[in-house]
Chain A
Amino acid sequence: MSAVAATTQPRGEILSSILAFVRHHVLTLYSLLFFAYLLLPIAIVVAFSFNHPTGNFNYVWQGFTWDNWRYWDGVPGIRSAVFLSLEIALLASLVATALGTMIALALVRYGFRGRAATNIMIFLPLSTPEIVLGASLLTLFLNLNVVFGFWTILIAHIMFCISFAVVTVKARLVGFDRHLEEAAMDLGANEWVTFRKVTLPLIAPAILAALLLCFAISIDDFVVTYFNAGSETTFPLFVWGAARVGAPPQVNVIGTAIFVIAVSGMLVNVLIQMRRTRAATS
């Protein structure tokens, strides 16, 4: 485009070309803003895990240090809180997924009295506000004179995880070809061998997904845990307590670690899926 051509261009055309530019790039701009809005808080959490704060508050950037990562458990109580959370999340996801898988199998495979009701009830914990779940569990435990602590937290977590596990595994079972199991039995496999050799390998991805999902929602649960923890402190409870007096950068360290582990787990999953589809199409 020569200079002569540009000067002879009428005003209207310049305006319309600007408009065209905006039209072309408005989606890009919007997407960038959207991701910034989404990711900025996480970026700040990660960045401040390397901050070297003076005083109680980790809000102002003071200087870079590895110390928070090196002494991640340098704050009293944080170590036991992290381990308690891990322990609860691991046990709760295992138990909830095992129970959830069995419930899903029963719901999809068998017609029994109360199946429709069970199907609806499974969704109740998903749609009930956590505060209601937490408060009602608290009432229940108080009425039963249960000592609050590890076991009440575990029971509460298993309770709200089961629904997620059921929904995840059920989705996979609905599209499952029953003839595969019949074929296995036809070839001499009894019920148990059929489950082990055919059903389980085929629903394994869903079971794994349920495990990860349960782990993720258990490890960061605050509301239900707060009601039922007694004197025990899980990591979210620790963060809440610490935030009142000024959260130490170690909280950011643990948060970042959880984030990195979750994201890398997801990436590995995506890579495996991509390799599988490539193998299938080649």
Chain B
Amino acid sequence: MTVASERATSAPAAQKVDVRLEDVTKQFDDVVAVDRLSVGVESGSFFALLGPSGCGKTTTLRMIGGFEQPTEGRIYLGDREVSRLPAYKRDVNTVFQSYALFPHLSVFENVAFGLRRRAVRGETLRGRVEEMLRIVGLGGMGKRKPRQLSGGQQQRVALARALVNKPQVLLLDEPLGALDLKLRKQMQLELKAIQHDVGITFIHVTHDQEEAMTMADQIAVMNQGRIEQLGTPTELYETPATAYVASFLGASNLIAGTVSGANTVRLHHGPEVKVRPAAIAGRTGEVAVGIRPEKIDLGGGQENTLEGTIFEQAYIGVATQYLVDTDCGRLTVYRQNASPGLNGAAPGQRLTLSWSPESTFVVDSMEGSE
């Protein structure tokens, strides 16, 4: 936990920061939705707020957008404090989860809404709206009404309506939640490409870890109104700081143990395993070690080993999933199907599992895992 909060508060010094939250708390009656949250979002980055529903991610986004005011703390856009400013005085635009397109206005007028408020008129207005509609792939659709468009097209209008204003920061509130899986995958890549092209800072709220990892440069994993860990997708996946992060981003095996040396942990019902000294990071006493399922080998050969019996196997196409019972509990192992067919190992078979110290991470406790 200490590691997580330190990471969260220290914004990178050299980079220009577009959005900064300082000790922001939001309380609804007696429910604390966001709890003393501090974070800095680098200019031009694609930043994801990731967490389950009710973790405070949407409330955080709404406070940046100006739809909620923080109970305590400050919010900065660039160098300007905006904590108490209404939404229309902030250089921020939002893509809403429900899209919130104006049903009585045409697609063109929807996109032109923000520009008209800033007194952009005539040919300039026309040119900018039509160019933006082309960018999102809706050229020539300006005359239609929102209800005449498909969900994916409405989503693009919502994006165009926000981006045409060239805001300092674009906020996206679960923008792909209403789309079907195939369209969602396609839009994820398109959004990433558009962000790359326009160079605007994107802050993206999602509960979908895969979506966050596909698109974001930086991910803040939120839980109960706080940031559990902030980092790149690789950092979060390879070295999760808490059991919660380890289980929220992908699957992981957590085994309880006690620190027994500078680079060793003794498992409670098993052998001593080696880890990187950096992974222990000064922890002592009770901890939990974690290994991702795809980093465990069926068979010896690596430095850390554990005996077990295959309980069940499941062929899932790209890999085969094995559930292996060991003295330290049931572990999940993925083995990539590099060659056709199953790999021979069958339920009931005894074998040795092994993994390297480099792919072992350490968290404070099992608490927070699923």
Interface residues of A (CB under 8 A from B): 177, 179-180, 182-190, 193, 197-198, 201-202, 280
Contacts and interface: CB of A to CB of B under 8 A. Distances in A.
Contact of B100 (A182, A188, A193, A197): A182
14 contacts: A177-B100, A179-B100, A182-B100, A183-B94, A186-B87, A187-B93, A187-B113, A188-B114, A188-B165, A189-B88, A201-B104, A202-B104, A280-B145, A280-B148
Interface residues of B, number: 26
Contacts of A202: 103-104
Contacts of A182: 65, 67, 87, 94, 96, 100
Nearest to A188: B117
Interface string B3-34: 00000000000000000000000000000000
Q: Which of B65, B86, B104, B162 has the most CB of A within 10 A?
A: B104
B132 to A, nearest CB: 13
A185 B92 CA distance: 11
B165 A187 contact: yes
Given A179-B96, A280-B148, A186 B102 contact: no
Contacts of A188: 88, 114, 117-118, 165
A185 B98 contact: no
Given A179-B100, A183-B94, A280 B147 contact: yes
B57 interface: no
B266 interface: no
Given A193-B117, A202-B104, A187 B161 contact: yes
Interface in B146-161: 147-148, 161
Interface in B320-337: none
B308 interface: no
Closest 9 CB pairs of A and B: A188-B117, A187-B114, A179-B100, A183-B100, A185-B87, A185-B88, A186-B94, A201-B104, A187-B113
Interface of B: 65-67, 86-88, 92-94, 96, 98, 100-104, 113-114, 117-118, 145, 147-148, 161-162, 165
Nearest to B92: A186
A180 B88 contact: no
A180 B102 contact: yes
A192 to B, nearest CB: 11
A131 to B, nearest CB: 43
Nearest to A179: B100
A84 to B, nearest CB: 38
B121 to A, nearest CB: 15
Contacts of B113: 184, 187, 189, 197
A167 to B, nearest CB: 23
Nearest to A282: B148
A202 B102 CA distance: 9
A188 B161 CA distance: 12
B29 to A, nearest CB: 11
B98 A179 contact: yes
Given A179-B100, A202-B103, A187 B67 contact: no
A183 B96 contact: yes
B5 to A, nearest CB: 31
Among A179, A182, A187, A280, max chain B CB count under 10 A is at: A187
Contacts of A185: 66-67, 86-88
Given A189-B88, A280-B148, 16 more contacts: A179-B96, A182-B94, A182-B100, A183-B94, A183-B96, A185-B86, A186-B66, A187-B93, A187-B114, A187-B117, A188-B114, A188-B118, A190-B88, A197-B113, A201-B104, A202-B104
Contact of A186 (B88, B104, B147, B148): B88
A202 B114 CA distance: 18
A188 B147 CA distance: 24
A133 B114 CA distance: 50
A180 B100 contact: yes
Q: Which of B65, B100, B161, B162 has most A Cβ within 10 Å?
A: B100
Contacts of B96: 179, 182-183
B93 A186 contact: yes
Contacts of B93: 186-187
A198 B113 CA distance: 10
B339 to A, nearest CB: 52
Nearest to A180: B100
Nearest to B171: A186
Contact of B117 (A179, A189, A201): A189
